[in-house]
Amino acid sequence: MLKRDDLPDGVLAVIRRGSVIPAHPLALDSARNFDRRRQRALTRYYIDAGVGGLAVGVHTTQFAIREVGLYEPVLELAVAEANGWTDRPLAMIAGVIGPTRQAVREAETAVGLGYHAGLLSLAAFAGASEDQIIEHCEAVAAVIPLFGFYLQPAVGGIELPASFWRRFAAIDNVLGIKAAPFNRYRTLDVVRGIVEAGAEDRVTLYTGNDDHILLDLLAGFVVPRGDERVCVRIKGGLLGQWCVWTKAAVDLLERVHQAVERGHADADLLSLDSIITSCNAAVFDAANNYRGVIAGCHEILRRQGFLEGIWCLDREEGLSPGQAAEITRVEEAFAEVTDNKFVAANLDRWLT
């Protein structure tokens, strides 16, 4: 068992301060085989962009890696490349999915490879009782520190009330929670659960609400507990959105940290909220209920030169009609949230 308190101090500090943790995509060649060279380049890019960690084996990596025998190879390559490319602490987070037997097996694999936490998807528990889901979470937490994951229903998530999050946050080996329901009411349920469990100093909250990134990071959440009011902040982001234009995301989060420290966000920073959401709408294909979300991320990385194409393991998965034009529109209109110059200056080195 890997316990939260056994993690390196540097890793815990990175998580607790709040970091950019991109959801790592999967690089494939035209035959849809794993392209290790381009996968390494992506990992190097994220590290040099200044991320605090990497999430691998998650939705943006494509859950289907498990069906084609790539779960362990993909996780292994990411952690090996991270260890070889930098000596600064990085929080390595592995996606963990499925029923309990599968999730425990994946958690054991991740621990064996050197990962620090598991991002636990509960999509497989649609229709299960709260008691059953908590029992599952406790079983996986017995193997690896957990990041809870409130996944939006549009891509397979299930509704989870504040009572669930209170019980989840009370599990001793829980490290953080990624709130990604794309819904303000449900995000508040997560915060309320953490506060009711008295876990706000132990469980770090990260946003996965790609439609509300900046204000999630800037605005504190006030929740009553008895006679007091507890303010909880979302400290960082564990995001598919941040697997593209990552250097700009790192710079943005640093501006947020500075604004929080001085107790004031200037108008220029606040104006980026709608810009970032507009970019996400194009990349994530919000107009088509997120059907082209993974292909949209791939399209940005293809344009930058990381990927040769936008191929996904699922041959039916691709850009929606008009999505490429929308990506072009926001990329040209909002260059301040892209990092194309940074990538162009370093791409050859990362691909070598």
Q: What is the CATH number of the domain that holds 168?
A: 3.20.20.70
pLDDT band at 157 (very low <50, low <70, confident <90, very high): confident
Torsion sign over Cα 191, 140, 236, 327: negative
Contact 253, 20 (CB under 8 A): yes
As a dihedral over the C-alpha atoms of residue 24, residue 288, residue 338, residue 31, rounded to 10 degrees, the angle is 50
Q: How many domains does the chain have?
A: 1
pLDDT at 152: 79
| pLDDT, average across residues 202-207 | 98
- At 258-295, the pLDDT tens digits run 999 999 999 999 999 999 999 999 999 999 999 999 99
Is pLDDT above 80 for 14?
Answer: yes
Is pLDDT above 80 for 235?
Answer: yes
Q: Helix 246-262 crosses helix 36-49 at what angle (to 10 degrees)?
A: 20
Is pLDDT above 80 for 156?
Answer: no
Is pLDDT above 80 for 154?
Answer: no
Burial tier of 207 (Cβ tally within 10 Å: 0-12, 13-18, 19+): buried
Contact 7, 147 (CB under 8 A): no
Is pLDDT above 90 for 338?
Answer: yes
pLDDT at 150: 93
Encoded tokens for 159: 């509704």
Indicate the residue type of 106: E
Percent of the residues in the chain that have a pLDDT greater than 90, as a whole number: 95
Indicate the residue type of 59: H
- At 309-321, the pLDDT tens digits run 999 999 999 999 9
pLDDT at 151: 83
pLDDT at 78: 98
Q: Which domain holds residue 86?
A: 4-351
Is pLDDT above 90 for 158?
Answer: no
Q: Annotate the chain with three-state secondary structure.
A: CCCHHHCCHHHHHHHHHCCEEEECCCCECCCCCECHHHHHHHHHHHHHHCCCEEEECCHHHCHHHHCCCCHHHHHHHHHHHHHHHCCCCCEEEEEECCCHHHHHHHHHHHHHHCCCEEEECCHHHCCCCHHHHHHHHHHHHCCCCEEEEEECHHHCCCCCCHHHHHHHHCCCCEEEEEEECCCHHHHHHHHHHHHHCCCCCCCEEEECCCCCHHHHHHCCEEEEECCEEEEECEEEEEECHHHCCHHHHHHHHHHHHHHHHHCCCCHHHHCHHHHHHHHHHHHCCHHHCCCCHHHHHHHHHHHHCCCCCCCCCCCCCCCCCCHHHHHHHHHHHCHHHCCHHHHHHHHHHHHC
Q: How many CA atoms lie within 13 A of 150 on its CB side?
A: 31
Is pLDDT above 90 for 121?
Answer: yes
Is pLDDT above 90 for 153?
Answer: no
